[in-house]
Amino acid sequence: MIAESADTVEVGGYHYFPRASVQMELLRPAPKTDSDRACPHGVQFYDVSDASGRSERAAWSYEAPQASMKRVDHWIGFWGDVELAP
């Protein structure tokens, strides 16, 4: 399991996990694209690797979020195709 927490936040249909509840050793920062650098929230994408394989840019974090995303400042979000258990 990559992340587990009863304290998640859903924003825009995506679940965000507190960083302390994520196995950060399974995440590697992905190289920034021009689109990443243009993000007003300072997005950092992560490649996720576990026993089932590797998924590129499957998770992200806002490192310098504006007011609308402050509640998930440095939390980890996952794309919809990443399986999340309740």
> Could you list the pLDDT tens digit for every one of the 86 residues in the chain?
888 899 999 999 999 999 999 999 999 999 999 999 999 999 999 999 988 889 999 999 999 999 999 999 999 999 876 655 54
Task: Of 41, 50, 30, give the one whose Cα is nearest residue 73.
Answer: 41
Q: Which CATH class is domain 9-78?
A: mainly beta
Kindly report the backbone phi and psi dihedral angles of residue 57, in degrees, each rounded to the nearest multiple of 5, phi listed first.
50, 40
Predicted local confidence at residue 85, as pLDDT: 54
Spell out the long-range contacts of 29-32 with Cβ–Cβ below 8 A and sequence spacing 24 or more. Answer: 30/56, 30/57
Predicted local confidence at residue 57, as pLDDT: 97
Question: For residue 35, what is the DSSP state?
Answer: H
